[in-house]
Copies of this chain bind each other. A is one copy, B any other.
Amino acid sequence: MTDYITLLKSNDLKATIQRTSILKVIEEVGHISIDDIYESVKEQHPTLSLATIYKNIILMQQHNVIIEVPMNGEKSKYELKKNDHIHLICQSCGMIQDQHLTAQTEQTLVLENFKLNRVQINLYGLCSECQS
């Protein structure tokens, strides 16, 4: 369980109840769209507006608190900022699971003439549940 207040302040953002609520939902669900954040956060804070979510999603990205996970054929999801990792995406049930990015994989991606900053890997397929 992350301390969202410290997380926000250490990234030069004021710790409002709206922001900590948004971060809590993101961490609980793992990867979540703006609409689903709204639906979820409204339960505890019925006055929290969609405009506030939009503004904060943009701001918290700029301040390196969260990152966008662009998705094929649907709206982007968002996750707490972490080290580079792999997303396993089940094409049947929609599950998204983080997977450790091995040094071995990283080594195979090193190229001359390209200064690599960030690796984004999505693997689409079937999770174990959906294979049966």
Spell out A's residues near B (CB within 8 Å).
61, 68, 70-73, 76, 86, 88, 91, 99, 102, 104-105, 108-109, 111, 113-128, 131
Given the known interface contacts A68-B73, A70-B70, the answer about A118 and B109 at a Cβ–Cβ threshold of 8 Å is no
Given the known interface contacts A68-B73, A88-B114, A115-B131, the answer about A109 and B121 at a Cβ–Cβ threshold of 8 Å is yes
Oligomer: number of copies: 2
Minimum Cβ distance to chain B for residue A105 (Å): 4
Docked-complex contact B115 and A120, CB < 8 angstroms: no
Docked-complex contact B118 and A120, CB < 8 angstroms: no
Docked-complex contact A115 and B125, CB < 8 angstroms: yes
Checking B76, B108, B131 against A105 with a beta-carbon cut-off of 8 angstroms, the contacting residue is B108
Minimum Cβ distance to chain B for residue A90 (Å): 8
Docked-complex contact A120 and B122, CB < 8 angstroms: yes
Docked-complex contact B115 and A123, CB < 8 angstroms: no
Given the known interface contacts A105-B108, A122-B120, the answer about A114 and B128 at a Cβ–Cβ threshold of 8 Å is yes
